[in-house]
A and B are shown apart, each in its own frame.
Chain A
Amino acid sequence: MLLDLVAKLGRTTLGLIRAAGSLTLFALSGLSHIFRPPFYGRVFLSTFLETGFFSLPVVALTALFSGGVIALQSYTGFAQYHVQSAIAGIVVLAVTRELGPVLAGLMVAGRVGAAMAAEIGTMRVTDQVDALTTLSTNPMKYLVAPRLLAGIIALPLLVLVADVLGVAGGFTVSVVKLGFSPHAYITSTLNSVKVIDVTVGLVKAALFGFLIALMGCYYGYNSKGGAEGVGTATTSAVVAASILLLAFDYLLTDLFFSQ
């Protein structure tokens, strides 16, 4: 009984180590192909548009409403201590440091990470990935590298938009609903935000973009067993990307902002 338990624990541990090793090798291989020709510009461009441009509406709406909600919630709490003037600073710091990258990342993970896993997974189970190899094309170079690069570049751009719209959401609620002076709000916002806040947000976004694309590609590439396997790969990609994204968000916040 005890031996069985130890054996099961050992198998699980070995499985986790194997999975971590396999993911690391996959990531390193994908990254190395970004810098080595041939480059597949068309694949990059279509993935970049899908990741960046077509994710704009959902990211924009999420950021806009989140900025508004922070302003509203902060006002409720801060009014008790008569520090409503801090709302602009709270909104801009929350949006640029955390909410912009995290919300955009989660939205893109659900939208694009899932699509990447489903597309590559379908290609895997219908032999299209093997067909690439037989046609003198390295699947890591053709399928994975352009997606990783698109994720790394597109997400920071999306987060820039999310930052602006998040602040705009807070501004709109504060001015229209809470009666703040537009000029005072903007001045307070500009006084509160520092370059490092936006920069770290963008660094986070680049890492999140990489993680989302990596999970989509990894689970898709290793999917097995037809439609069910592709479905499992898609779910796993989104769940893994979301968890990794939140974990790395904490680590980067701790690295850059903890005293």
Chain B
Amino acid sequence: MTGTLPKIRIRDLHKSFGSKKVLDGINLDVMPGTSFVIIGGSGSGKSVLLRCILGLITPDAGSIEIDGEDMLTASPRRQDALRGKIGMLFQNGALFDSLPVWENVTFGLLALKRLNRKDARGHAGSILAQVGLDPSVGELYPSELSGGMQKRVGLARAIAAQPDILFFDEPTTGLDPIMGAVIDGLIVDCVKKLGSTAIAITHDMASAQRIGDDAAMLYKGQLIWHGPASSLMDSGNAMVDQFTHGRREGPITMELRR
């Protein structure tokens, strides 16, 4: 809008699995420094969209640009470099079971050889402190942590390399409301501190409003609404309003009943 290049630019993105169309012509611009929230029901294509941007799934058609560079036509080496700009918090944490927490947190830094193993343990402690965990947690294994702690460690791992872009896949799923609010607060703090651009996908309306500057709703593979996250509960779009207020009656339910 101000002439700035979008951090992420998606054009006419399509993806099908067999005969099932999951993404059907997605167009999206995410401006630098904004937190963008995508809401939508289960199976609406939210996770597939994130995975396409990350390069974990190859779309059938369309383009995905990061800082103006097309992720899909870039060489594998460039794709790795572009992916290196992104930190991801997975829905269930996706922590490596066989590694202690400190190694989970610094895994990306060790892989990129930005740190040696000797320094990594201390560095992990400082990152764990940023997400409100005691550095001693670094010596534990993921199976010894509660769900909330696993999410925090996942967040610590996502921000460890100070990425330009952060993705959050259902960051509050499976957490109690208080812990959900704590995680949202940490996400907002981390995004602000790093000056990153963030995309979060969620079902949780409170979380969406806490995290997001902008929001969009994905329904049957299409973005049916786009606006400020603050207007999510009063969007003027019948489908969005039904979804955000959790009403049984409305256009979405009608579709589901068919």
Contacts and interface: CB of A to CB of B under 8 A. Distances in A.
Interface string B103-115: 0000110011000
Interface residues of B, number: 23
A133 B83 contact: yes
Given A135-B108, A136-B83, A122 B97 contact: yes
B88 A131 contact: yes
Contacts of A135: 107-108, 111, 157
A126 B92 contact: yes
Interface in A34-76: 38
Interface stretch (B50-58, B179-187, B203-211): B50-58
B92 A137 contact: no
B54 A134 contact: yes
Interface string A128-153: 10110111110000000000000000
B94 interface: yes
A136 B158 CA distance: 12
B158 to A, nearest CB: 8
Nearest to A128: B94
Contacts of B95: 128, 131
A130 B57 CA distance: 10
Interface in B75-124: 80, 83-84, 86-88, 90-92, 94-98, 107-108, 111-112
Contact of B94 (A38, A119, A130, A136): A130
A127 B111 contact: no
A175 to B, nearest CB: 46
Taking residues whose C-beta sits less than 8 angstroms from the other chain, chain A's interface range is 10 to 19
A167 to B, nearest CB: 38
Contacts of B90: 127, 130-131
A136 B97 CA distance: 18
A133 B111 CA distance: 11
A122 B96 CA distance: 10
A136 B111 contact: yes
Interface string B29-72: 00000000000000000000001001110000000000000000
Contacts of A134: 54, 56, 83, 86-88, 108
Nearest to B84: A136
A127 B92 contact: yes
A136 B91 contact: no
Contacts, number: 49
B51 A136 contact: no
B97 A133 contact: no
Nearest to B169: A127
Nearest to B158: A134
Contacts of A122: 97
A136 B90 CA distance: 15
Q: Which of A122, A123, A128 has the most CB of B within 10 A?
A: A128
Contacts of A119: 98
Contacts of A38: 111
A133 B55 contact: yes
B94 A126 contact: yes
A135 B95 CA distance: 12
B80 A131 contact: no
B112 A136 contact: yes
Contact of A133 (B54, B92, B157): B54
Given A128-B94, A130-B94, A131-B90, A137 B111 contact: yes
A131 B111 contact: no
Contacts of B98: 119
Given A133-B54, A135-B111, A127 B91 contact: yes
Q: Which of A130, A133, A134 has the most CB of B within 10 A?
A: A134
A214 to B, nearest CB: 21
A126 B95 CA distance: 9
Contacts of A137: 107-108, 111
A130 B167 CA distance: 13
Interface in A146-177: none
Contacts of B87: 134
A127 B96 CA distance: 10
Nearest to A138: B80
Nearest to B167: A134
A230 to B, nearest CB: 13
A128 B99 CA distance: 12
Given A122-B97, A130-B90, A135-B107, 16 more contacts: A119-B98, A126-B94, A130-B51, A131-B88, A131-B90, A131-B94, A133-B54, A133-B55, A134-B56, A134-B88, A134-B108, A135-B111, A135-B157, A136-B80, A137-B107, A137-B108
Interface of B: 51, 54-56, 80, 83-84, 86-88, 90-92, 94-98, 107-108, 111-112, 157
8 contacts: A119-B98, A123-B96, A128-B96, A131-B95, A134-B54, A134-B83, A134-B88, A137-B107
